Every structure is written in C-alpha cells, then in structure tokens.
Amino acid sequence: MLNLIKKITCCHGLSGSEKQVSAVIQKAISPYVDYCYNDTLGNLIAVKSGSGEGRRKIMLCAHMDEIGYMVTCIEDNGNIRFSNIGGINYISASYTNVVSGRGVPGVLVPESGLKTGEITFDKCYIDIGAKNRKEAERLVSVGDSFVQEPYVKKLAGRRIAGRPFDDRLGCAILVMISERLAEEGCPDDIYYVFSVQEEVGCRGSKTAAFEISPDLALVYDVTSTGDTPEAKPMAVKLGEGTAIKIKDASVICHAGTVEELTRVAKDNKIKYQCEILVAGGTDTSSIQMSGAGCRAAALSIPTRYIHSGVEMADLGDIKATVELSVKYLLKKD
C-alpha cells in the first residue's frame, strides 16, 4: 500500500498538466482492467467489464490534479512571478520547496518586509537561483507549471505525512480496489476515472460522467478533520475509519446509497464515520448533475492540513475505504 501511494504521490500533476501522474497510474492499474484510454480533456479512464446479467455501469472517480503555480513572467533579476492554479494558502506555501514540470527546483518566498496578512500571490515569487532573466529562461518559460515538492513520509503508528495527498490517496485507493475486484470478480462494469482539473472547478469529472452515463458513481477524495487544536467542530477524526459523505457545500449525496454504504460497513465491522463538510466540495457534485443526473455518493479519506505541504493521513482509514468499497460493490441485493 505505502509503495503504491509513494509512486502516485511523488509525481507532477498540476491542474491542466496531469500527464505525468496519468502515466504512472495507467501503468499501475493496467494489469487489473480490460483497457485504458485518455479522453479529450485528459481524464484517464480504465474499464473492467463485469460478468453478471443486466450489469450496471459504475463509475469510481478520484482526481489526479493538484494545486500549484503557473509562470506568468520572468523578471530581469531571474525571479519568477506566477498565477495560482487552485486555492492556495500563501502563508503555508511561503518558504517551501517547489519543482517545475520539467524538474527544475526552486523555492517560493514572499517579498521582504511583508506582514502575515499581506502575503498574497502577487507578493510572492519563485527563486530558482538564476542570476538574471537570461539564465532563468534557459530553464523556465512562461506557462510552465510549478508545484510544491511532493513526498511521502512514514510517521508514528499508521500515520503518514506528505503531499499532494489531495487527491493522490483517492487515486491509489482506486488502483487497490481494481486489484481486489480483478481477483474476486465483479458483476457490474466498472469505470475507474482519474479526473483532471478538479481543483479549478471539477471540470474533468463532468465530461467523463457525461460520456459514461453511469448508473451509480462513488467519488474518492480527502476531507478535513475536527481533531486538531481549535479546529472547526466536525465529526471526523484521523484513524477512525473511512468517512461516508452525507453532504458538503456543493452536494447532498444520494440518501439511499449513503444508507447502503453505512449498512455494509456495519455488517462487515468496517470502521466508518459520517462526514458533513461545511465548506468545500468534490467531483461528486459535477457527476451528480451530469447529463440526466446520476446516483452519486462519496467516501472520503480523513486528512489533516489539506492544501499545505504537510498533509497527514492514516493508513488504517485508507484500508477501511478500500474494504468498504469492495464489500459494497460485491454485495448481493
């Protein structure tokens, strides 16, 4: 499990530039599916045909992309100015290592003398160590993408830290589910969708769902926790199991599917929590409203410090998410 998470996490995948992570995932999932392809927008879709009569089309979705920075200007002194891609907290992003899609390392820093509340994207720059514009332009061009340097580190017990867990953990979970279903067989047709551009408006999942027109969709993404000092009250904690989403700011999940997931978790003694996320959303909303509509629900991975350089998750929660998914997909009505 940990090695798979490292492989999928430690590659470049800014929104709109997901080819590197797509290639890694395709290599990992190919042994467990019938075929893979990339659609027009860049979503990676892996298909496994079911063996049952009257089989349904089930879409399992996790997004490949991550937040980051796009180069807008290279200054005479060699510093790089950028625009944000996705929601960035520039206080946590300041003084961090970044890397471009070409592998060029740098550091993201705020201008000198700023107070904390003054740190915004137009007051920050990326320093790659270049002496001047000419030297910088040998390594970086306008339109290049940068992300915070990816990594995965094992902590105490079952905890891991790293980035971007949002949402490479979901992608790893889909690969693990595909392996289990390939071994055990599934009566339904499964479409594993690794979506693009979730961080800039849930764009890829919308087009993929329109093409597939699934009977049922399950989305996998991270969610916040309420177990850190002065955190907003929330009934989700690290290490207490997978989080069955009831609603977030963008979606109310299909009530019948939420009930079924809860019942399967109870029947199989799988640790779970109920998730209501006050702010934020996932691909669940765009899939639910695609085409004529879709029965959609979500399983979330409790994660501390989302959209920072030190996201934290629990391997037990990841395992519970895989186990509940497999039991649910193989359940007999």
- Please state the domain count of the chain: 2
- Regarding whether 124 and 14 lie in a shared domain, the answer is no
Mean pLDDT score, 22-32: 97
Instruction: Read off the pTM.
Output: 0.94
Write down the catalytic residue from 18, 66, 198, 240: 198
Listed as own residue / partner, the contacts of 6-9 with beta carbons closer than 8 Å and 24 or more positions apart are 6/152, 8/168, 8/171, 8/172, 8/175, 9/150, 9/151, 9/152, 9/162, 9/163, 9/164, 9/165, 9/168, 9/169, 9/172
Per-residue pLDDT at 146: 95
Mean pLDDT score, 143-154: 95
Percent with pLDDT over 90 in the chain: 86
Residue 275: which pLDDT band, with cuts at 50, 70 and 90? Answer: very high
Mean pLDDT score, 166-194: 96
* Catalytic site includes residue 18: no
Mean pLDDT score, 278-300: 93
Per-residue pLDDT at 52: 79
- Regarding whether 61 and 72 lie in a shared domain, the answer is no
Residue 333: which pLDDT band, with cuts at 50, 70 and 90? Answer: low
Q: Which domain covers residue 250, as residue numbers?
A: 2-66+164-329
- Regarding whether 170 and 255 lie in a shared domain, the answer is yes
- Regarding whether 90 and 209 lie in a shared domain, the answer is no
Site of tokens 């209501």: 276
Question: Has residue 159 been placed in a domain?
Answer: no
- Regarding whether 115 and 186 lie in a shared domain, the answer is no
- pLDDT exceeds cutoff 90 at 120: no
Residue 36: which pLDDT band, with cuts at 50, 70 and 90? Answer: very high
Question: Has residue 158 been placed in a domain?
Answer: no
- Regarding whether 32 and 45 lie in a shared domain, the answer is yes
- Regarding whether 132 and 11 lie in a shared domain, the answer is no
Domain termination site, one of 149, 176, 195: 149
Question: Among candidates 226, 218, 241, 232, which has minimal Cα distance to 287?
Answer: 218
